[in-house]
Chains A and B, each alone.
Chain A
Amino acid sequence: MESSSTSLASLTAEQRADIVLDVIRTRRVVRRYTDEPVADDQIHRVLEAGRWATTGGNRRIHRFLVIRDPKTIRLMKMISPGMLGAPSAIVLICLDHTAIDAEQTREEHSSGLVDVGTQAMNMMVAAHALGLGSCPVTSFSQSGMSTLLDLPRTATPLLMVLLGHPAPHTRVMRRGARTRLTVEDLTYWEHYGHTS
């Protein structure tokens, strides 16, 4: 990693921004994967990206559970209607109540849910940079997942990041379907409603 860090540091801010923004812009949710396993070192790099995500007050109240066993993944899929593909690995982000107690914080603090999003997004961007496909999934049964994975009562499963090698797929669009939103569609300047 030393060499890539060194080469990145030698770039101008503009060049670094181009690289980062290109990775962000070209990432898509991937729901079709090949059977090829995801290498452990790739999973580690994805996890590292999640670890470096911002968290409210630098609280670390989440834990990542990595699942690679195909049989377990198949069972997880059965109780996860939001999981459309068959990934090779899953990172399950859990709220850890032991950590919540240690942090002397409150579970219902909404930034805890925001943190799940920032961690998942970092992981998905890293996965894309590594040539992997990823998909966030919250549409699963929490009680079913806790039972399947023998989670302790102190862990609440919140979000899965699916990982795998993307399978070739062409998205079929309806003629006349709505086009993508632009930055201008989403942004107001200085006052809500002002577009310039």
Chain B
Amino acid sequence: MSAETAVTEDEAFELLAHLVASAELCIREPYYYGTFRLIDAASKLMGFMLSNGADTEHEWLAAFKEEVDTKKEWMMWDREGYFAFLQGATGSVAGELKRRAAASI
């Protein structure tokens, strides 16, 4: 997967529609639904990235997407676990950012 092929135009429009509709829904829905919409958008983005690249090159991305897809649904029946997951999720992304930065030096 190269930077140019991470997301196609159709996929970008799909993500755009999701984000704009989510922004509208945030006006009337419980506040924590907004967190769900964002992490769901992250999942969609990862799905697009994985479908446009070789999975073998993106073990971390595939594993993180699987974790997101499993734990995002906890919002509906295990909010404590869901919030704990969100609080640790950025750490996972930061670790991958750090690894990528080190690799590009």
A contacts, CB < 8 Å to B: 31, 78-82, 84, 139-141, 143-144, 171-174, 177-178
Contact = CB atoms under 8 A, between A and B. Distances in A.
Interface stretch (B19-27, B53-61, B88-96): B19-27
Given A79-B17, A81-B22, A139-B33, 17 more contacts: A78-B21, A79-B20, A79-B21, A81-B18, A81-B21, A81-B37, A139-B25, A140-B21, A140-B25, A141-B25, A144-B21, A171-B73, A174-B74, A177-B74, A177-B81, A178-B78, A178-B80
A15 B78 CA distance: 35
Contact of B21 (A80, A173, A174): A80
List 4 A-B pairs, minimum CB-CB distance, nearest first. Answer: A174-B81, A78-B17, A177-B78, A141-B21
Interface string B1-45: 000000000000110011011101100010001000100100000
Interface string B70-86: 10011001101100000
A79 B78 CA distance: 26
Contacts of B33: 139
A174 B80 CA distance: 10
Contacts of A82: 25
Contact of B78 (A141, A143, A174): A174
Nearest to A177: B78
Nearest to B74: A174
A78 B74 contact: no
Most B-side CB within 10 Å, residue of A139, A140, A143, A173? A139
Nearest to A79: B21
Nearest to A139: B25
Nearest to A31: B73
A148 to B, nearest CB: 10
A173 B24 CA distance: 30
Given A172-B70, A177-B74, A177-B77, A78 B25 contact: no
Contacts of B17: 78-79, 144
A115 to B, nearest CB: 20
B86 to A, nearest CB: 13
A17 B23 CA distance: 44
A149 B16 CA distance: 19
Contacts of A177: 74, 77-78, 80-81
